[in-house]
Amino acid sequence: MSLTKKIILGLTVILIGIQFFQPLRNQSDEVTASHIEKVYAVPQNVKTILVQSCYDCHSNNTRYPWYSRIQPGTWYMAQHIKKGKEELNFSEFGEYSARRQRNKFRTMAGQVKDGEMPLSSYTLIHRNAVLSQEDKQVLMKWFETMEDSIK
């Protein structure tokens, strides 16, 4: 067997082998008392946008597409979700201090305004998560209103 065939065979075995090592999935049907929807009155239009464009990376319940079970992409997704939740977790928003909540609302408004969120690497595959100008205006207005309401 030639060296090229051995390399291809070895890579194939490794690729098949890593499919058996799946990270834990970020899925929970429980809406806790600290979820942003329990802490604040989230209008339906805002909730729809958040679910569609934000919750997959910034909550405890990710909707996984079919390709999420194929390695090494699964590891990439798991790491991406972990980092997203460390930065902002809507499922635990009520546990943040008032100061941190204000800062998060301010930051979210700025990132949506500047087109930093959702990430382009996410919207490249999830076209339905792209925010229209109207969606951006709705979110920014609500974020700013919420920031101003926190004492």
Neighbours of 18 (CB within 10 A): 14
What's the token pair of residue 100?
């941190």
pTM of the predicted model, to two decimals?
A: 0.79
**Which stretch of DSSP H or E encloses residue 148?**
helix 133-149
Q: Could you tell me if 144 and 109 are in contact, meaning their C-beta atoms sit under 8 angstroms apart?
A: yes
pLDDT < 50 positions in the chain:
none
Token duo for residue 73: 């992409």
pLDDT for 18 equals 67
Q: Do 25 and 69 meet the contact criterion of CB atoms below 8 Å apart? A: no
Domains in the chain: boundaries:
24-149
> Which parts of 63-125 fold into alpha helices (H)?
73-87, 98-113, 120-123
Could you check whether the bond before residue 43 is cis, i.e. omega within 30 degrees of 0? no
pLDDT attached to residue 70 = 77
Decide: helix, strand or coil at residue 118.
Answer: coil
